Amino acid sequence: MDQVRHHLAVLVASSARHAGRKPAMTARRDAIDESYRACRSLVRRSGSNFTGAFWMLPARQRRAMYALYAFMRHTDDLVDQPAAGNDPAAALACWRNQLAAAIGNQPYGSARAVAGAGADAGAHALGRTAAESRATPASADERCTMSPGAVLLPALADTVAQFRIPTKLLFEVIEGVEMDLHPRRFARFADLEQYCDRVAGAVGLACIHIWGFRSPAAFEPARQCGLAMQLTNILRDLGEDLRQGRL
């Protein structure tokens, strides 16, 4: 009887431990799902021609493209459409730190970061009320955590982990957008190509990890496609760039 009671006690204790984990796991999953919804909402508001093609993808890949596009769009907007009173350079530095915290220190992100840092950042961004913000001015670190982009990161971290997207590609995009803070004339095509690789080639390489590829031979065509699209964007905006003294 003592042995039976011992086994029962062990089973009860084990069940209690697992029961305690489920609410935490559910909360994290909820934060990730909420993040994907925020990404989808941003994509729909953007009005981009690209987004119509997302519907051709299976649901899992479509959701991942929402997360990737939302990250790219938010990164670009930090410089092109900065919020009133915001320093774009500081905002990009903050965004880089948020990204690092959300995806972890692994080449393809980490499951712990997806469930923890990214979800926490999104929950923090959603959870602070306007009254709390007015009553207690946020510190620089809190403003970083509370930035509108924070809610996008749990979905991005989940996408990176699921599709094994090399995290260096995301940081390359930030580096490319950062180059827009200090516009300069490119003396050589190689310099322009480096800029295009960062802001567009890296995007193409991230996309094919979501779409799927059979061979690394797909990498160079994806990069070249990004280069061609960015050069097209530059040509399209020549008039605006001329008016702003960029040429």
78 vs 201: CA distance, rounded Å: 20
In a domain, 235, yes or no: no
| DSSP symbol at 116 | I
From 213, 237, 17, select the one nearest 204 (Cα to Cα).
213
* Total domains in the fold of the chain: 1
pLDDT (0 to 100) of residue 130: 32
In a domain, 65, yes or no: no
Residue that is written with structure tokens 């390489």 in the block = 205
From 138, 207, 128, 127, select the one nearest 169 (Cα to Cα).
207
What are the angstrom distances between the C-alpha of 113 and each of 33, 69, 157, 162, 210? 15, 20, 7, 13, 20
Question: Which DSSP helix (H) or strand (E) runs through 139?
Answer: none
172 vs 128: CA distance, rounded Å: 31
In a domain, 187, yes or no: no
pLDDT (0 to 100) of residue 237: 85
Mean pLDDT by 10 residues, the chain (247 residues): 48 48 74 95 85 88 96 93 83 93 71 42 38 39 66 96 95 94 86 93 95 92 94 88 69
In a domain, 69, yes or no: no
Instruction: Record the pTM.
Output: 0.75
Which residues constitute the domain of residue 150? 2-49+85-163
pLDDT (0 to 100) of residue 245: 66
- The answer to whether the CB of 72 falls within 8 A of the CB of 149 is no
In a domain, 136, yes or no: yes
